[in-house]
Structure 1
Amino acid sequence: MNSRDKILQDILKNQPEPTILPEGVIFGFADADPVSKFITTAQTIGAKVYEVNQLEEIAPQIAELFDKEGRIVSVVEGVNIGEPYAAAVPHTFEDVNVAIIRGHFGVAENGAIWVTEDVLGHRALPFICQHLVLIIEKSKIVRLMQDAYEIIADSDYGYSAFIAGPSKTADIEQSLVIGAHGPRSLSIFLLP
């Protein structure tokens, strides 16, 4: 018997007694307003959050926020700015300045927004663009990841992601780099 097998056998022999998982455990901030918490958390991790009253208000704000010369691709019907999304190979999105996508719901705990392939267009789009715009309704913000997992548990999707941003890393010389491996900015528009 080699040392690897001996170690694995010792681990198997020394397992703790199994215990039953508790039911109905609630974590986190049960009394906090999820919308306020979502906004605070998203801003803390570097996103910009804008509250609007209707979908039609978003395109003019995007025109003010981002370079009008850059390529803008909208996957959201009703946000008429730039070009509407057209299915293509990922390489055709290499010059996208702003991508506009609607998320399914947000999570107050970590400022993340759930997206699936049916709202993304191509899965590369939110990660290859320079600036990402995500749109969700305030009523679709849940408190915790625990709540989010309950929503998506029985969902049928081929590709999905929780997006919280913008992209950043501090691994290199402990220096914060924004846009290291994805969008340089994340703007979130909240609809009533």
Structure 2
Amino acid sequence: MMSSRDKILAAVKQNQPDASALPSLQGLSGNMPGTLDAYRKVLEGLGGSLFEIKNESEITPLLKEHYPHLQRIVVATDVQREWLNEDPHQLENVDMAIVPGQWGVAENGAIWLTEQEIGVRVLPFICQHLAIVLPRQQILPTMHEAYEKIGAPQTGFGVFIAGPSKTADIEQSLVLGAHGAKSLVVFIIGE
């Protein structure tokens, strides 16, 4: 004899709607250029900073110059990655996390990150400051193009991050770093 739960689930399964194709997004992308200048303008408007570099060896000197107080820096692409198996609570003292980004979006300054690159889901949110390394050719004009490039997610976790976290109260007092990193710096690599 079927339980009430089993009857309900069987009825739901039997009465599924037919699958239909997703609607076309043609014409919704607007006229936002997918250029570095367009991306920089939006990112800086959100409170982030951007540095153009030729290779990753330029990152350390720039961090020393602009963030001299950093004590613990975690680089997601390090081969060693001793921190990878740490209890995520042990990452609370990370001053700067440096992670690779997959896609940047000019219209909103966001960058797509997945757990495949960052290793630990909490890393970009628990650190005091966040640095994302993004290849210049990976900047897209709009979120529509970004979703087309991403397609069906291949990892268990992905997130778009745009600028340092912020919140404002009813008195219009803006607080940066309210729910995550206090600052975001994007290193655009390549010519």
Percent identity over the alignment is: 40
1:28 is aligned to 30
| Worse-matched range after superposition: 67-76 or 100-109 | 67-76
Of the three residues 141, 144, 160, the one matched with 1:143 is 141
Aligned residue type for 2:58: E
1:52 is aligned to 53
Per-residue deviation, 1:22: 5.4
Is the Cα contact below 8 Å between 1:99 and 1:132 reproduced in 2?
yes
Moved over 6 A (4+): none
1:76-110 deviation line (CA, Å, top 9, x unaligned): 249x9xx8653321011011111100011100010
> For residues 21 and 94 of structure 1, do their structure 2 counterparts lie closer, same or farther at Cα, with a shift above 3 Å needed?
closer
Of the three residues 131, 134, 143, the one matched with 1:133 is 131
> For residues 172 and 94 of structure 1, do their structure 2 counterparts lie closer, same or farther at Cα, with a shift above 3 Å needed?
farther
Aligned residue type for 2:121: R
Is the Cα contact below 8 Å between 1:165 and 1:185 reproduced in 2?
yes
2:73 is aligned to 72
Per-residue deviation, 1:35: 1.4
Is the Cα contact below 8 Å between 1:73 and 1:84 reproduced in 2?
no
> For residues 41 and 91 of structure 1, do their structure 2 counterparts lie closer, same or farther at Cα, with a shift above 3 Å needed?
same
Of the three residues 101, 110, 113, the one matched with 2:111 is 113
> 1 CA distance for matches of 2:108 and 2:25?
23
Is the Cα contact below 8 Å between 1:116 and 1:159 reproduced in 2?
yes
Give the length in aligned residue pairs. Answer: 169
Is the Cα contact below 8 Å between 1:104 and 1:114 reproduced in 2?
yes
1:5 is aligned to none
Is the Cα contact below 8 Å between 2:136 and 2:188 reproduced in 1?
yes
- Give TM-score, length-normalised by structure 2: 0.81
> 2 CA distance for matches of 1:22 and 1:99?
38
Q: Which runs of 5+ in 1 are unaligned?
A: 1-19
> For residues 107 and 130 of structure 1, do their structure 2 counterparts lie closer, same or farther at Cα, with a shift above 3 Å needed?
same
1:167 is aligned to 165
Q: Which runs of 5+ in 2 are unaligned?
A: 1-21
Aligned residue type for 2:152: D
> 2 CA distance for matches of 1:186 and 1:23?
31
> Which structure 2 residues correspond to residues 37-48 of structure 1 after superposition, within 5 A?
37-48=38-49
Per-residue deviation, 1:170: 1.1
Aligned residue type for 1:62: L
- Give TM-score, length-normalised by structure 1: 0.80
